[in-house]
């Protein structure tokens, strides 16, 4: 006979995490970054970038820089910084340091001056639309021929506040003959008059492609993993690396991840919150991390789902199914079991003796204990489950016969024999004693399900439980007269 604990030890089953391709050029260490901008909370799309970088940072024991890209005052709202930090915390990244681009304006200014001195950039006072037309015809604008001194002078005057928004910009000299119009003399600085930046007193702002190159270089970033929407940016950035004679990091671009069934757009979310269509950033219909956290999805499930997706350059559709499967594997061993009765009816059970049912908190771990449910004459049942039946078994209690007098069911005690219930193909269903039932709303993306749950489930606030035969759910709030739970998955 085998010892029971030996049997248990035999199923480690911890599936090996997927191994992604190795990174090139890791000999001198790995420094990577996750670079969100604080225009709204993080969603599943961000999680891919965050976890893919995190994966390699951990694998190579590297350094992870979280860089908040807040160089557009119009897209920065002060409260978003906190939201962002919460999300990063939730993800559980191996954070090495957090830097804010808005703290580094002087660095960008200084490097812009150097770039102009190197002959790599010029101040352009052309109208944006006019410039675009020239660019498409591969023609230089008049400003392109200014001397370095003239450009430095204009740059100084820009910083001194001599120009208004839209009057002037700084452009990198690239190749006007470049077959891709997107590469030709792109802009690296602009002026924004309003609104003021919440963290820094500035009017001259670096554009993405400039601040990123300067930061990636100065922060020693060795590898960059980002979406393929940045592929053109990478090419543009190479011009700047070239001028400064810097070694660019290794770039990797993954394909587009389309996430169905959920709202991701920050602007749409904001509108929805204002109009009342959504309750907040964590509304169940959203794809924000806050929303999926509220639904009882664990960060590690997201991590695994994202690592499984990997770095493919193909466009893919995000699979909730796979995410739920990962989450179930994490949550099933921990979640205590309770009854939740939707579509409820209360019915007396004729001829039944009083009884105390003992239902395991977790069937695979009896040592966790039981819930005691006191049967005293009547039960609350899911009506749909007894319709058309002549016998059901109330789980952990006893069998009942169901008699139908037209629409009205009448229940009679039918003994405790499990074998009989099996023989009769009676389904084993959840039930509640009226004295231990709490009103419970189960929130799902498809709508609210009203019902009752066990009183004891109200002690599981903020935890994921399994409502037996219904699915895994997170107990979201417990009020005197109502328990609210968020449905995660079956």
Partner RNA sequence: GCUGCUAUAGUGUAGGGGCCAAUCAUGUCGGCCUUUCACGCCGACGACUGGGGUUCAAAUCCCCAUAGCAGCACCA
**125 to 164, contacts with RNA by CB under 7 A?**
125-128, 131-132, 135
Instruction: Kindly identify the residues of this chain, within the stretch 243-282, that bind RNA according to CB under 7 A.
Output: 255-256
H-only helix segments in 60-101? 78-91
Instruction: Kindly identify the residues of this chain, within the stretch 87-116, that bind RNA according to CB under 7 A.
Output: none
User: CA-CA-CA-CA torsion for 418, 420, 424, 430, nearest 10 degrees?
Assistant: -30
Q: Does 233 bind RNA (CB under 7 A)?
A: yes
Least spacing, CB of residue 293 vs RNA, in Å: 20
Distances (CA, A) of 28 to 2, 222, 366, 481, 483: 51, 9, 52, 61, 54
Q: Which of 223, 230, 252, 303 binds RNA (CB under 7 A)?
A: 230
Whole-number Å distance between alpha carbons of 97 and 222:
15
Whole-number Å distance between alpha carbons of 328 and 15:
14
Least spacing, CB of residue 419 vs RNA, in Å: 10
Q: Which of 75, 238, 270, 285 binds RNA (CB under 7 A)?
A: 75
Task: Count Cα neighbours of 35 within 13 Å in the Cβ-side half-sphere.
Answer: 21
- Considering the complex, state which of residue 288 and residue 466 has its C-beta at the smaller distance from RNA: 466
CB under 7 A: which stretch of 13-21, 193-201, 272-280, 404-412 binds RNA? Answer: 13-21
- 3-state DSSP helix/strand/coil % of the chain, to nearest 5: 35, 25, 40
Instruction: Kindly identify the residues of this chain, within the stretch 325-364, that bind RNA according to CB under 7 A.
Output: 325, 328-329, 332-333, 337, 362-364
Distances (CA, A) of 194 to 165, 188, 189, 267: 9, 19, 15, 19
Contact 308, 322 (CB under 8 A): yes
CB under 7 A: which stretch of 72-80, 405-413, 431-439, 478-486 binds RNA? Answer: 72-80
Q: Which of 26, 146, 187, 279 binds RNA (CB under 7 A)?
A: 187
Least spacing, CB of residue 207 vs RNA, in Å: 4
Instruction: Kindly identify the residues of this chain, within the stretch 31-60, that bind RNA according to CB under 7 A.
Output: 35, 37
- Considering the complex, state which of residue 408 and residue 425 has its C-beta at the smaller distance from RNA: 425
Whole-number Å distance between alpha carbons of 108 and 70:
13
The DSSP-derived string for 400-437 is EEEEEETTEEEEEE--S-HHHHHHTT--EE--B-GGGE
CB under 7 A: which stretch of 2-10, 122-130, 282-290, 441-449 binds RNA? Answer: 122-130
Contact 210, 184 (CB under 8 A): no
- Considering the complex, state which of residue 75 and residue 463 has its C-beta at the smaller distance from RNA: 75
Instruction: Kindly identify the residues of this chain, within the stretch 292-331, that bind RNA according to CB under 7 A.
Output: 308-317, 319, 321-322, 325, 328-329
- Smallest CA-to-CA distance from 213 within 298, 101, 311, 302 is with 101
Instruction: Kindly identify the residues of this chain, within the stretch 408-467, that bind RNA according to CB under 7 A.
Output: 416, 418, 427-429, 466
CB under 7 A: which stretch of 67-75, 111-119, 153-161, 262-270 binds RNA? Answer: 67-75
Which position has the token pair 């001195």?
A: 117
Q: Does 365 bind RNA (CB under 7 A)?
A: no
């Amino acid at each position: 006979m085998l010892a029971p604990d030996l049997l248990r030890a035999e199923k480690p089953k911890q599936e090996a995490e997927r191994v992604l391709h190795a990174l090139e050029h890791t000999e001198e260490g790995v420094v990577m970054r996750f670079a969100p901008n604080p225009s709204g909370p993080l969603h599943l799309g961000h999680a891919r970038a965050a976890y893919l970088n995190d994966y390699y940072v951990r694998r190579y024991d590297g350094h992870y820089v979280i860089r908040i890209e807040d160089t557009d005052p119009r897209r920065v709202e002060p409260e978003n910084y906190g939201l962002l930090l919460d999300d990063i915390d939730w993800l559980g990244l191996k954070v090495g340091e957090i830097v804010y681009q808005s703290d580094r304006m002087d660095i960008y200014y200084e490097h812009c001056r150097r770039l102009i001195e190197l002959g790599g950039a010029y101040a352009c006072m052309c109208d944006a639309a006019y410039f675009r037309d020239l660019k498409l015809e591969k023609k230089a604008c008049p400003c392109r021929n200014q001397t370095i001194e003239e450009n430095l002078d204009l740059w100084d005057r820009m910083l001194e506040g001599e120009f208004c928004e839209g009057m002037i910009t700084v452009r990198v000299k690239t190749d006007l003959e470049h077959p891709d119009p997107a590469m030709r003399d792109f802009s690296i600085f602009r002026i924004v008059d309003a609104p003021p930046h919440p963290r820094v007193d500035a009017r001259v702002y670096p554009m993405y492609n400039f601040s990123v190159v300067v930061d990636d270089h100065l922060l020693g970033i060795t590898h960059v993993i980002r979406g393929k929407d940045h592929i053109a940016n990478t090419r543009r950035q190479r011009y700047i690396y070239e001028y400064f004679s810097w070694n660019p990091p290794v770039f990797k671009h993954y394909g587009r991840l389309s996430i169905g069934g959920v709202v991701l757009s920050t602007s749409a979310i904001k509108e929805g919150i204002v109009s009342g269509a959504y309750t907040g950033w964590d509304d169940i219909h959203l794809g924000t991390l806050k929303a999926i956290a509220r639904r009882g999805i664990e960060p590690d499930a997201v991590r695994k789902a994202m690592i499984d997706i990997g770095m493919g350059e193909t466009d893919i559709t995000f699979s909730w199914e796979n995410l739920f499967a990962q989450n179930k594997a994490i949550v099933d061993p921990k979640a205590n079991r309770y009854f939740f009765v939707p579509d409820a009816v209360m019915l007396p059970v004729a001829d039944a003796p009083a009884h105390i049912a003992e239902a395991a908190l977790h069937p695979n771990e009896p040592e966790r204990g039981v819930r005691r449910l006191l049967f005293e004459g009547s039960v609350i049942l899911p009506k749909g489950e007894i319709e058309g039946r002549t016998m059901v078994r109330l789980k952990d209690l006893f069998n009942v016969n169901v008699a139908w007098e037209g629409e009205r069911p009448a229940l009679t005690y039918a003994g405790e024999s499990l074998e009989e219930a099996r023989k009769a193909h009676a389904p084993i269903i959840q039930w509640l004693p009226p004295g231990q039932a709490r009103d419970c709303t189960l929130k799902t993306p498809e709508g609210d399900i009203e019902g009752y749950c066990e009183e004891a489930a109200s002690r599981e606030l903020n935890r994921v439980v399994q409502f037996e035969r219904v699915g895994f759910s997170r107990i979201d709030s417990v009020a005197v007269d109502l328990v609210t739970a968020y449905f995660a998955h079956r």
